[in-house]
Structure 1
Amino acid sequence: MNYVPPAVLAAAMALALPAHAAEPAAAAPGSGLHEIPDEELGQMRGRYTVGGNEVAWFGVTMISTWQAASGQTLQGALRIGMDFRNGGSPKVSFTPSVTVTAANAPLPDNIGRSIDGSGLDNVAGLSQSVQIAGDGNRASNVLHLNVRNDGVVPLHEGGGTGSASAQQGAASAVASFDGNSARLQLQVQGQGAVQQWMRSGGMGQSIQLLGDGQVAQNLVQIDLVKQSLVGNLPLSQNVAQAIALNRGIGGVGGQ
């Protein structure tokens, strides 16, 4: 059975629910109301699908490229897909790809330059970072979100977990997914690193360049495919009734 990171599933379901404006504050509760226990609220939370749609596919594609001044090129990509169409635990697919070419010139000496990105490990949510200690460099972090309602799921192959790596001299590229977190990393010893990751609680992009005249880019594309449930009338009626019964619940309810 494939294990799905809780943060990824939470992100998928959060994206599937349309945003609603906050309702006006209700009048102060009167007599005859009682507090709903946490256990009962826990059973209600997350049980209903709003808007007649459910998630059919959730996918993340990461692509990183790095062109060094020495002529060396590093490239890496990974794709994670989660197919929810059959219900229950989704089918997870993972496809990695990495390449590293040899340098055409000696790597420059960057003595005296330093970069520290260790604080990014403490960041929750989405983080994007660029740190440069050199001249004539170009760097960018890009994220795209694509939401479709046509229910058409892309073709997907590959195992549920795995890794791919490549190395040429001081340069290395690694793409990995262990079921809990995914990471794409391009690194040249003494020259910096280009990274992307997805783990419980967050997703990030980081570029660290110590040399001169380098070009680096990180790209993340998140794809969410939803399919309509309008044909399931009993389910739609049950959802509407449940929402109506729970409307305005904020820790209290009627007897």
Structure 2
Amino acid sequence: MRRCMWLTVYLLACSLPASADNPFRAVELNDDELAQLRGRYVLPGRIINFGVTMSSTWENSAGQTIGAGVTFQLDGQAQPHISVTELMPNTEGQGQGAAVPPGSGQIVGGGGLTGVQGISQSVRSAGDFNDGLNNLDIVITRGAAGAAEPDAAATPWDGASGFTNAAGNVLVSARNGGLQIHLDAGSQGNALQQIGGGNITQQANFSGDLNTVRNLATLSVALRDLPLGQDMANCTLEQLRALRPGGY
């Protein structure tokens, strides 16, 4: 029995390529190889919910705030749900007695940032004492509790939505095969956040002073827990079956 086992190990070693002298050594994969592996090891039946949440807010030196959020959810039946949320408090009386000095700075260039394939985050300031944050979180959870709860203040997507107040205006729209939030604070600057079309873009551009911008995005995936020995066993058998033509 032991001789048979050692013979099997010897044949397996001889069948490996010369470059694979240590099959357990970590090897870096190039982009083409990774593209072939994308999503292969997540069974479709295990995805309960996939979602994208974005929010952008701007607060100027007078404390006036404007912002918006957009949520895209895809459930286990591949049904999409998009909603928009207005993220600005009741601005009645907000900032009274505190004038906002016009911004005199000028942001130059940067047009290529929106054409990056992948993730692009930038904070550019031509003013003083500004605070910008671009943040992207990827959250993977297990069980139905991982599915995002709907926002009671959100309204169903019905095309582009815009909001305006003393701090500026914000527009939520579909652009370049994805979702975009564009925030215009007038002479104080602007902010942009976009997901889709092969890229994720987060930008904050300041031309005034004492402004605060928050661009926040979350990609979430909720997976269904499966009892050990069910679909995972079938997945393992299928992977082993693929080795048979190679003689393993």
TM-score (norm 2): 0.69
Provide the C-alpha distance between the structure 1 equivalents of 2:180 and 2:204, rounded to a whole number of angstroms: 14
Contact 1:181 1:199 in 2 (8 A): yes
After the TM superposition, which of the residue ranges 121-130 and 64-73 deviates more from structure 2?
64-73
Aligned CA distance change for structure 1 residues 214 and 170 (closer, same or farther; 3 Å): closer
Aligned CA distance change for structure 1 residues 204 and 133 (closer, same or farther; 3 Å): same
- 1:63 aligns with one of 40, 46, 55: 55
- Counterpart in 2 of 1:93? 81
Alignment size in residue pairs:
209
- Counterpart in 2 of 1:37? none
- 1:126 aligns with one of 119, 122, 126: 119
Higher percent of residues as helix: 2
Aligned CA distance change for structure 1 residues 144 and 244 (closer, same or farther; 3 Å): same
- 1:246 aligns with one of 236, 239, 242: 242
Larger radius of gyration: 2
Structure 2: any 5+ residue segments left out of the alignment? Answer: 1-12, 19-35
Tell me how far 1:205 sits from its aligned partner: 1.0
- Counterpart in 1 of 2:70? 78
Aligned CA distance change for structure 1 residues 93 and 65 (closer, same or farther; 3 Å): same
C-alpha RMSD of matched pairs (Å): 3.5
Contact 1:53 1:228 in 2 (8 A): no
One-letter code aligned to 2:84: P
Aligned CA distance change for structure 1 residues 135 and 55 (closer, same or farther; 3 Å): same
One-letter code aligned to 2:235: V
- 1:138 aligns with one of 131, 136, 139: 131
Give a deviation string over 1:197-240, Cα, whole Å, max 9, x none.
1012111211001001111111112221000233783x444321
Provide the C-alpha distance between the structure 2 equivalents of 1:46 and 1:244, rounded to a whole number of angstroms: 19
Contact 2:193 2:202 in 1 (8 A): yes
Is 1:176 the equivalent of 2:178? no
Tell me how far 1:106 sits from its aligned partner: 5.2
Provide the C-alpha distance between the structure 2 equivalents of 1:110 and 1:225, rounded to a whole number of angstroms: 44
Contact 1:65 1:75 in 2 (8 A): yes
After the TM superposition, which of the residue ranges 166-175 and 116-125 deviates more from structure 2?
166-175
Is 1:28 the equivalent of 2:20? no
Provide the C-alpha distance between the structure 1 equivalents of 2:173 and 2:143, rounded to a whole number of angstroms: 30
Provide the C-alpha distance between the structure 2 equivalents of 1:178 and 1:118, rounded to a whole number of angstroms: 16
Aligned CA distance change for structure 1 residues 209 and 149 (closer, same or farther; 3 Å): same
Aligned CA distance change for structure 1 residues 161 and 238 (closer, same or farther; 3 Å): farther
- 1:215 aligns with one of 212, 216, 224: 212
Aligned CA distance change for structure 1 residues 61 and 236 (closer, same or farther; 3 Å): same
Provide the C-alpha distance between the structure 2 equivalents of 1:47 and 1:74, rounded to a whole number of angstroms: 38
- Aligned-pair identity in percent equals 24
Tell me how far 1:134 sits from its aligned partner: 0.7
Partner secondary structure for residue 160 of structure 2: strand
Tell me how far 1:110 sits from its aligned partner: 3.6
- 2:141 aligns with one of 119, 137, 148: 148
Provide the C-alpha distance between the structure 2 equivalents of 1:159 and 1:232, rounded to a whole number of angstroms: 41
One-letter code aligned to 2:60: A
Contact 2:137 2:218 in 1 (8 A): yes
Provide the C-alpha distance between the structure 1 equivalents of 2:50 and 2:44, rounded to a whole number of angstroms: 18
Partner secondary structure for residue 209 of structure 2: coil
Structure 1: any 5+ residue segments left out of the alignment? Answer: 1-23, 30-43
One-letter code aligned to 1:193: N
Aligned CA distance change for structure 1 residues 180 and 231 (closer, same or farther; 3 Å): farther
Provide the C-alpha distance between the structure 2 equivalents of 1:179 and 1:155, rounded to a whole number of angstroms: 27
TM-score (norm 1): 0.68
- 2:194 aligns with one of 176, 192, 197: 197
Contact 2:57 2:87 in 1 (8 A): no
Aligned CA distance change for structure 1 residues 73 and 82 (closer, same or farther; 3 Å): same
Aligned CA distance change for structure 1 residues 145 and 170 (closer, same or farther; 3 Å): closer
